[in-house]
Structure 1
Amino acid sequence: MPSELSPIHSKLFEAKAAKGLTFDEIAKALGKDEVWVAAAFYGQAKFTPEELAQLADLLGIQGLQASLPDDSWWPNRGLGPSPPTDPVIYRLYESVLVYGHAIKAVIHEKFGDGIMSMIDCKINITRKPDPKGDRVVLTFDGKFLPYAKW
């Protein structure tokens, strides 16, 4: 867990562990996706007041809404050093270093001059059994945004 987490976000992780819940279980209770919920636990996304009330009930945290930043708080996305030092995060970073230009070229060939949105993006992680060792299937489903001309 990054040391940059606020005390309340650390408290969310402690309560999650105490209840023995997964991000998927929490996400289903909130009607959200597990990756989005995990991002919110890290302060990289923002829960609504209604989601906070549901989360407080689920995790058994009294006064959760009062202890989180008010409506003027917005996530400061992008935790940690660059390049990242955590092995899992570093391998994701490495995948962009190695395949980034190839991915960019294929996106341009298929869509034109633009980018894949991380604002309008869904990320799914699944496990795929394989005789050589289970595979991680990571899917980024982002909206294409063409560059404007003026």
Structure 2
Amino acid sequence: MNDAKALAAEEIQVARQKAGLTWAAIAEHISRPKEWTVAALLGQHPVPETEARAVGELLGLSDDSVAALQRQPYRTGLGEAANDPTIYRFLEAVNVYGPAIKELIHEEFGDGIMSAINFKVDVSRRADPGGDRVVVTLDGKFLDYNW
């Protein structure tokens, strides 16, 4: 992530906490899904000008941060974030289940991939007698290889 987007993300985190706003409330304010909103405000998507200005006004962001939100990001990897226990568990799940998921995609759809560009993600909670469950749905368009 470039420095301007990283600085904007930090300003957003501080302002959000200070304002006592949830990510869901910010997402609702700009009429976007909460998952997209968090990723975008942490620097992984360009935010359209109207939404960037709305977030800037809601959180009292600097003009530099509002401008940085609108820039196309560099998506270069997780860096130190890969060491975070929550993120590491997702990497672990892909390491364990990735080959099986790949085989099942090929069996069900044919030779191709799941898009991470034409993509939706949903994070929700499901009550369970043994403790609440985290439900993460990854929903990507199938893209076949055209030989």
TM-score w.r.t. length of structure 2: 0.89
- On the 8 A contact 1:56/1:64 being kept in 2, the answer is no
1:60, distance to aligned residue in structure 2 (A): 2.4
| Preserved contact between residue 114 and residue 141 of structure 2 (Cα < 8 Å) | yes
Structure 1 match to 2:83 = 85
Equivalent residue, structure 2, for 1:68: 67
- Given that residues 83 and 93 in structure 1 are in contact (C-alpha distance below 8 angstroms), is that contact kept between their aligned partners in structure 2? no
Tell which has more relative contact order, 1 or 2 (C-alpha 8 A, sep 6+).
2
1:122 and 1:31 mapped to 2: Cα distance?
15
1-side partners of 2:69 and 2:41: how far apart? 16
Asked if the contact 1:118/1:142 (under 8 Å) is kept, the reply is: yes
Q: 1:138 to 1:108 in 2, by over 3 A?
A: same
- 1:107 corresponds to: 105
Task: Name the SS of the counterpart of 2:79 in structure 1.
Answer: coil
Change (3 A) 1:44 1:81: same
Amino acid at match of 1:97: N
1:83 Cα offset (Å): 9.1
Aligned AA (2:141): K
- Aligned twin of 1:139: 137
Q: Which runs of 5+ in 2 are unaligned?
A: none
Question: Secondary structure in 2 aligned to 1:107?
Answer: helix
Q: Which runs of 4+ in 1 moved over 3 A?
A: none
Instruction: Please state which structure has a larger fraction of its residues in helix.
Output: 2
TM-score, normalising length: structure 1:
0.87
